[in-house]
Amino acid sequence: MSNEFETKGVKLAKLPSDYGSTGFKMFKGSILNNVEIAYETWGELSINNDNAILLFTGLSPSSHAASSDNNKAEGWWEYMIGPNKPIDTNKHFVICINSLGSCFGSTSPASINKANGETYGLTFPELSIEDIAKSGHAVLQTLGIDHVHTVMGPSMGGMTALAYALLFPNSLSNLIVISAAARALPFTISIRSLQRELIRSDPLWNNGIYKKDSAPLNGMKLARKLGLMSYRAANEWRERFNRARLPKSAGKKMFDIEFEVENYLNHNSEKFVSMFDPNCYLYLSRAMDLFDVAEHGGTVNAGLAKIHTKKNLIIGVESDILFPIDQQQELADGFSKAKKNFKFERLNSIQGHDSFLVDKESFSKVIYDFFKD
């Protein structure tokens, strides 16, 4: 576990070794020892252990999805989780895990390898979305939970939820996939590939060997700016910033930041790079590109047919350029061909891929209706 990025209030699950193995067996075949997964919970587990909701996150968030007695800071999905909220913790026991490979408490490239006392860096084994799903299932086992009411997630978390349903089809009743896809498209792969190249081209990256006080922050900053541009939609940029300019200053130099939108990208990227590890970003980003439901059946439709959930909800956003709406349509078509019980919600939010974080009204209603039925 990395102490540098540890999140307040998290619990740690020490994952047992797989049967016949010395550690946690990764999807690509490597063995990872001494795996710990950070997680947070809200609500109470029912006597029958039948009210658990497993929540997977996007690439960058921690397990702190909502405030709690252990950490009263506002979570990344504060409006969604809590008493009498769409995911009602008066009724459900919610577990949100910090992804395997992320730097907020779980074993990751930023963690210390107990075998040699050194940071893993690029010696960390190749990471897959399936590994994150499997680690979530292992956390449930440490909690004595064999079956969950719902597995859900937005963005990368939606991919992980799909992977979970494929790997453990008999251990969940319902599935919610938000702004995610069965596999990445070339446009999305190219964006993330460029982000990784920006990080690796920073001289301070040094083949993944660096200390936190000398990390490749410039490369990370540029990668984050590119990410921010893809998380939102062009119409929102126009509506929010238009061509607004910063006040003129006496010491301004040629090519200094001129526009409000530039200032926004700069501020948010600087905030992010102080909170996230570059190598973790590389691993998680690549895991998203490599994920493909077709690997679990030969085709996407064949893979989706292996999911045995009672009820499925797919949510897409019309303005999302990172995971375009036709990718959620592909999931809906696959569930339809497999004669699965599903609902596909197409939302007209203008905030693009990040709509699930900020369009409280639209997403609250859809999620509330799902759990109400």
Annotated catalytic sites, by residue?
155, 320, 353
* CA 220 remoteness from chain centre: 18
176 is written with which tokens? Answer: 């919610």
- 201 DSSP 8-state letter: T
CA distance 286 to 106: 18
Return the residue matching tokens 């047992």: 16
Q: Tell the residue number behind the tokens 């619990």, with chain if given.
A: 11
H helices of the chain, in order, are 129-142, 156-167, 186-200, 217-231, 234-241, 260-273, 278-290, 300-304, 325-337, 355-358, 360-372
CA triplet 100, 131, 187: central angle to 5 degrees? 90
Query: In which region does residue 144 sit, left (phi positive, over 0), alpha (psi from -120 to 50) or beta (all else)?
Result: left
